[in-house]
Structure formats: C-alpha cells, structure tokens
Amino acid sequence: MALEDRNEAWRDELRKSISGKERTSTPRVKMNELDAKIRARSYDEVNQGLTEEQARKEATRCMDCPNPTCMEGCPVGINIPGFIKNIERGEYVEAAKVLRQTSALPAVCGRVCPQEKQCESQCFYKLKLKKEPVAIGYLERFAADFERNSGKMEAPQTAPKNGIKVAAVGSGPAGLSFAGDMAKLGYEVTVFEALHEIGGVLKYGIPGFRLPNEIVDVEIDNLKKMGVKFEKNTIVGKTIGTKDLEAAGFKGLFVASGAGLPRFMNIKGENLIGIMSSNEYLTRVNLMRANTKESDTPVLRGKNVAVIGGGNTAMDSVRTALRLGAERAMLVYRRSEEEMPARLEEVHHAKEEGVEFMTLHNPIEYIGDEKGRVTTMRLQKMQLGEPDASGRRSPIAIEGGIIDVPVDVVIVSIGVSPNPIVPNSVAGLEVSAKGTIVVNDKLQSSIPTLFAGGDIVRGGATVILAMGDGRKAAAEMHKYLSGN
C-alpha cells in the first residue's frame, strides 16, 4: 500500500528534502507536561502531547532506514518509519492509518509502552550514533490523538464476514488486540468481560493521569464499529462454560483473562486494616472512582502512605496516593533504583511529583493499633550482593539495620499470579505449576481450539506484550481455522 511503502515517490523525495546531518543534529523533542506541583494533586493527564510543529520536527529526525531495526523491537510489528514519514509530510491521519494496520490501540500504546526497552532501544540513533533515539512513542501518540480529534477516525476495513464465530475471554489489551485482528479477517468476534466495564487493566489498573479512560473508550468504540460484540458481567468458566460456548457455535477461544490473585509477602501484620494490594487500591480509584464524592465505593486516604515494589503498578499506586492527598508518599523497594522494572518516565514523574524513594529497604513487619489499623512499618535495610537468577544484583539484609516508619496506608505491589478461573474450570487444559496456561509457540493450549496470551500465559508483563500475543493468537487461530 502507498501509505507505508518506502519505495513510493513521495517518500523518496522526503528523504532527499533534508540532509542527514541536519536530521541527526536536531535534538530530541521534550514532552509537554503539566507542572509537577499542580498535577500531583490532580487526575489530569501528566503528558500533554506534542504540538504539530514539535511532532513534524521530531519526525524529521527519523532517518527512514532501509532496514529499520526499531521495528524488530515492536511486539506488534508497527511499520515505524512508515507512520513517522507520514507525520513528516503532514499527513497525520494517514500516519494513524499505518498504526492501525497492526495495532488496535495506538493511542494507548503511545502512552503506556516501555518504548525505551523496545522500539526506541533499537533505533539507529541509539545503536549507531549513541544519541537519544527518535521519540517513537510520543509520535505514535501524536498521530493517534490527531486522528481522534480530527473527527476523521475511520475503523479499519474488514474482510467480508466469513460467518465463523470466535471469542476472547477478557477485554484487556490482549483480548482487544485479538478482537481487532480477527474482525479485520472477517470473523464474528465476541469479547467476554468479567467486570462491568470494558478495557481490563487499561481501566481498572492504569490511572487516568497516565491513560484517561475516554481514550480507551474511543478505541473500544472503534472495535464496535468493526463489528466486535462485547458482553460485560460475564465470566467464562463461571457464568458460561467453554462447552456452552462451543455449543453456541464458537469455533475458537482466545483466553486473555489476565492477572489474578495479588501477591503478598506473608509477613507479620500484613492483614491489618490499611494494608492492601495495588490491584485493590487502583481498582477502587480507577474503576470505581472512589476518589469522587459521588462514588459509593470508599477508599482509605492516608497521610503517610507506603507503596511496596518497584514496577509500573507501584509507581501508579504511589502517584495515586499523592493525588488522594497523602502528605508523605513513599516508595519502598528492596533493590536499588537501577534494578527497578518501572518505565523510566514513570520513575522520573514520580520523583518530580514528590514521591520519596526508599530504595534498599524491605518491610519485615507491620504494627497496628487497638482497632487493627496499621500504624507502623518495620523496614530492613538492604545492600546489593551478587547477581541472582534474574541477572539483577540480589538484595541482602544489613544486620541490625532496622527502622520503624509511621504509616496509615500500605499498598503491596509486588506482582500477581494468573487469574485462576479459566485454568480451574476447563477440563483437559494444561496449566503450569505457577497457574499459567501452557501454550506452544503458536499460543495454542493443550486444547487445540483454545489459544491463550497476555498475563494468563506470561504471569505478569506489559500492555504491549499482551497486545503482541493478541495479534499472534489471531494470526495462528486464523491459520488453524482455515486449515493452513
């Protein structure tokens, strides 16, 4: 197609229009952000996006490499130079179309993908010039936002309906991306969701200051325009069995039921009032809107809030605590900042907003008052030793290094295990010792018509990896169902 073909005349002209030296000497664009002091008490989106001028200038930095290494870093295989060059020539809606060829959720990915570990880490600038990479994520967001605000948003073209029914279990990033690809191929897709809103972790997990719910809703509406049906309040394995779905004519099932049981540390006092999982805390605020007066769902607002963990969910939780009015929002992590799995941008934003980083500390006990409410966390000071199985230097307790810190809310954000409902309810489904669904390299389970992806297979990963799984499962299920 002309839109993303590197050999098109317009693209060739564009490449010649600016010298390579000029392109590489342009500094990387800076994201426009709300002021840290103001945003730390507001739910408005922190990143304000790029202006048209900023985006076009940043797009000129992309060298339009003949072998774009950046694409190798993208789990959904976006044609990166293809969309960026459309931005450079000023065709923003076309740029968004290129994104939509492979991604059902470009406005989401542009906001939450760990680009520094994926596409941007493989950028020519980074690999060869040792310079800051092209801001691929910012540009992706720019194109998707422009398209949405232009009123020219068109759902991608779908193949003629083939009359074959398939279902996704879970409406998070994996399920949505699967649904988009299958709808494009002409399948009749139904997405089943356990909660009362569509979007999975994009709704209950990621806070509005990072990903506004309206953005997710627009992407979901797009899928509806493509013919995808959504069934809320339906738990496959409980409300309706996989056998029932088979009997109703579904030929393939993609299980993307995501994260389940939150992990706790099993230390003394962990069930005291005020100690909860990040899933609970974020669900209360993001899905149930407990931060608003109108909501019937309560949330504990602490003065001294500690979040345990170093991932993106921990960052989301600690920044939420600030927005709920915490005077002291602490992030407690047993390793050093270098080992933190969170996106760099989130760490940076959290610090700017006033989060106190207590790295190399690990909770060992919680102490409460007579009503059972937590009042104190006891922390063990740590130091880094030899690298462990994950390749990161493992934390070791410093003997005698124990401190007590006053807290009234503690959010435990040390990971989740897979959702147990589908693994427990489907006879003959092979499940690992960790509770994940076992799949082959085609994402196919021990039941040939059942494919699975996202956290239910990976046991805790990112939005974009889940989306990559959704795409792959769609392609593989299509092959399987069409007899190839």
Partner 1 sequence: MYKIVDKEFFSENVVKLEVEAPLIAKARKPGNFVIVRVGENGERIPLTIASADEKKGTITLVAQRVGVSSTKLTDLNVGDELTDLVGPLGKPTDIEKYGTVVCAGGGVGVAPLLPIVEGMKKAGNKVIVVLAARNKDLIILEKQMRELADEVIIMTDDGSAGKKGLVTNGIEEVILREKVDLCVTIGPAIMMKFVSLLTKKYNLPTIASLNTIMVDGTGMCGACRVTVGGKTKFVCVDGPEFDAHQVDFDEMMMRLGAYKELEKEDLYKIGK
Which C-beta is closer to partner 1: that of 43 or that of 264?
Answer: 264
Task: State the first-to-last Cα distance of the chain, in angstroms, to the nearest integer.
Answer: 25
Which C-beta is closer to partner 1: that of 457 or that of 477?
Answer: 457
Which C-beta is closer to partner 1: that of 298 or that of 400?
Answer: 298
Which C-beta is closer to partner 1: that of 300 or that of 473?
Answer: 300
Which C-beta is closer to partner 1: that of 50 or that of 374?
Answer: 374
Spatial separation of the C-alpha atoms in residues 92 and 55, rounded to whole Å: 10
Tokens 């919680």 label which residue? 366
Taking the complex as a whole, the smallest distance from the CB of residue 396 to partner 1 amounts, in Å, to 26
Taking the complex as a whole, the smallest distance from the CB of residue 124 to partner 1 amounts, in Å, to 41
Taking the complex as a whole, the smallest distance from the CB of residue 271 to partner 1 amounts, in Å, to 6
Which C-beta is closer to partner 1: that of 292 or that of 432?
Answer: 292
Taking the complex as a whole, the smallest distance from the CB of residue 410 to partner 1 amounts, in Å, to 13
Residues that bind partner 1 (CB under 8 A): 194-196, 204, 232-235, 238-241, 259-262, 264, 266, 270-271, 273-274, 276-277, 279-280, 283-284, 288-289, 292, 294-300, 371-372, 416, 419-421
Taking the complex as a whole, the smallest distance from the CB of residue 163 to partner 1 amounts, in Å, to 24
Taking the complex as a whole, the smallest distance from the CB of residue 98 to partner 1 amounts, in Å, to 35
Taking the complex as a whole, the smallest distance from the CB of residue 212 to partner 1 amounts, in Å, to 18
Which C-beta is closer to partner 1: that of 149 or that of 271?
Answer: 271
**Nearest Cα to Cα of residue 330 among 377, 266, 383:** 377
